[in-house]
């Protein structure tokens, strides 16, 4: 263990918040590790003008080496930068697969033996193989060419849960390499009183309603269409229920979802506010009576954790890997990723109206299982065991 503060390099495709939980993971983890005296830096394929929110880490610790080429997000500057700078770091955390940042770090680490850990962020889940067969074929070619070697040669492949690890091992063959589990968490960033009511003011149609909030990318993986169909099933029996579908339209899918809502006669009972960041996001979470994520595939779900931090009960499917930490709790309804099961879960919540007891339990669940400090300690324990860190 070096006498100086240990240094970690995080490698990620982009810090664009539209990329979802992977980005949040890097920023939150870097912030938490800094509290323990660990110095963090980020290298990304973003272009120099793509300055997304980085309040977690100072600007002089971020290298934006793009813009990358469209194919494989290839970034020629990355390899030369790694050659010159990799030996400055004690550990590399690679966030995500299937892009040049993973291959470039693997190649550089062959010549400069710095311990390298890969966080898959659910990118090996079998659901993706069924969703797009052409993409799966392309990934299979990349797998045999490079990806499985990057996992095989890593110090460890890090999963957020045993469920994610199990899904990953059946996705491609061979899936070799040492595998470990570190539960992911997020910061306690609940809003203050000045931001609490801003969402309701900006969206008056949601006032005095029982607010059901989806917050995430409008992506087929998230089960957005499933949620609209399930809401249509229960809406006629619960006249005050109102659904909010908040998030970036990364797939050009919003128009289809809005058309689906209109076909069900729900155009006045579903709000599409677009992506919500910062105070707008926290205000929506604080106003929600129930957070809903009917995902078909999910690693840790930072939105679910943030909802719990804001004392919002949650309805999630058993495909959200963190659901096992919420089983049999008053704050959580766990369903299958089907229309009927989600509809039954919504009806159960709307009929019971669990109120403050569920909200208190949501907050308790967050503090017990999902605080980012627990994640930081998990990684530090891993580095202590593997590398002899004494921090």
Task: Give 37-78 pLDDT, tens digit per residue.
Answer: 999 999 999 998 887 765 657 778 899 999 988 888 999 999
SS3 letters for 118-131? EECCCCCCCHHHHH
Q: What residues contact residue 384 under an 8 Å CB cut-off, 6+ apart? A: 390, 391
| Among 372, 387, 384, residue whose Cα is nearest residue 26 | 372
pLDDT for residue 125: 74
What CA–CA distance (Å, rounded) separates 342 from 321?
17
Rounded Cα distance between 105 and 220, Å, is 30
- Per DSSP, helices labelled H in the chain are 21-34, 76-85, 100-111, 127-131, 133-142, 148-152, 162-169, 198-202, 224-235, 254-263, 278-287, 302-309, 339-352, 356-365, 372-387
Residue 237, judged by CB atoms within 10 A of its CB (0-12, 13-18, 19+), counts as exposed
Burial 51-73 (b: 16+ CB within 10 A, else e): ebebebbeeebbbbbbebeeeeb
Q: Which residues contact 229 (CB under 8 A, 6 or more apart)?
A: 260, 264, 339, 343
Higher pLDDT, 33 or 20: 33
Is residue 243 within 8 A of residue 270, CB to CB? The reply is yes
Q: What's CA 190's distance to the chain center, in Å?
A: 18
| Beta carbons of 29 and 383 less than 8 angstroms apart | no
Residue in the block written with tokens 């579908």: 245
What 3-state DSSP class applies to 184?
Answer: coil
* Contact by Cβ (8 Å): 44, 62: yes
What pLDDT shows up at residue 133?
Answer: 67
DSSP symbols for 216-234: S---GGGTHHHHHHHHHHH
Say yes or no to pLDDT of 172 above 90: no
Q: Helix (H, G, I), strand (E, B), or coil: what is residue 280? A: helix
CA distance linking residue 175 with residue 171, whole number of Å: 8
- Rounded CA-CA distance 197/286 in Å is 8
Model confidence over 87-124: pLDDT tens digits? 999 999 999 998 999 999 999 998 888 999 999 888 88
Q: For the segment 366-384, what is each residue's pLDDT rounded down to a tens digit? A: 999 999 999 999 999 999 9
- Position 196 pLDDT exceeds 70: no
Residue 17 CB coordination number (10 Å): 16
For the residues 32-41, what does the mean pLDDT come to?
A: 94
As a whole number of Å, the end-to-end CA separation of the chain is 9
- pLDDT on residue 55: 61
Task: For residue 76, give the 3-state DSSP assignment.
Answer: helix
Interval 154-163: pLDDT, tens: 999 999 888 8
Alpha-carbon gap, residue 176 to 197, rounded angstroms? 50
Q: Give one DSSP letter per residue of 304-371, joined into a string.
A: HHHHHHTT--EEEETTBGGGGGGTT-TTEEEE-SSHHHHHHHHHHHHHH--THHHHHHHHHHIIIIIB
pLDDT at residue 354, as a whole number: 81
């Amino acid at each position: 263990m070096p006498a100086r503060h240990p240094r970690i390099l995080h490698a990620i495709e982009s810090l664009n918040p539209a990329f979802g939980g992977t980005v949040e993971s890097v920023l939150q983890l870097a912030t938490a590790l800094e509290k323990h005296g660990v110095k963090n830096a980020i290298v990304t394929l973003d272009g120099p003008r793509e300055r997304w929110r980085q309040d977690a880490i100072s600007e002089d610790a971020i290298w934006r080496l793009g813009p990358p080429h469209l194919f494989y997000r290839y970034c020629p500057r990355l390899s030369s930068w790694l050659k010159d700078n990799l030996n400055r770091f004690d550990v590399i955390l690679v966030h995500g697969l299937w892009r040049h940042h993973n291959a470039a770090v693997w190649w550089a680490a062959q010549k400069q033996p710095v311990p390298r850990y890969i966080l898959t962020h659910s990118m090996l889940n079998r659901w993706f193989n069924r969703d797009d067969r052409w993409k799966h074929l392309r990934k299979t070619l990349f797998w045999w060419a490079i990806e499985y070697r990057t996992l095989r040669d890593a110090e460890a492949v890090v999963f957020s849960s045993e469920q994610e690890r199990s899904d990953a091992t059946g996705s491609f063959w061979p899936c070799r390499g040492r595998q470990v589990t570190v539960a992911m968490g997020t910061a306690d960033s609940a809003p203050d009183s000045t931001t609490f009511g801003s969402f309701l003011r900006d969206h008056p149609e949601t006032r005095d309603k029982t607010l059901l909030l989806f917050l995430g990318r409008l992506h087929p993986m998230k089960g957005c269409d499933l949620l609209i169909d399930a809401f249509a099933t229960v809406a006629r029996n619960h006249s005050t229920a109102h659904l909010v579908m908040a998030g970036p339209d990364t797939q050009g899918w919003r128009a289809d979802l809005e058309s689906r809502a209109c076909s069900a006669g729900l155009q006045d009972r579903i709000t599409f506010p677009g992506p919500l960041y910062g105070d707008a996001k926290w205000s929506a979470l604080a106003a929600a009576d129930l957070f809903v994520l009917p995902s078909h595939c999910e690693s840790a779900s930072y939105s679910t954790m943030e909802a719990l931090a804001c004392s919002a009960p949650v309805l999630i499917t058993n495909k959200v890997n963190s659901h096992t930490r919420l089983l049999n709790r008053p704050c959580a309804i766990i369903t299958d990723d089907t229309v009927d099961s989600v509809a039954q879960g919504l009806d159960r919540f709307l009929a019971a109206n669990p109120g403050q007891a569920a909200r208190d339990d949501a907050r308790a669940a967050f503090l017990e299982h999902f605080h980012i400090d627990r994640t930081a300690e998990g990684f530090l324990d891993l580095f202590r065991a593997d590398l002899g860190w004494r921090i």
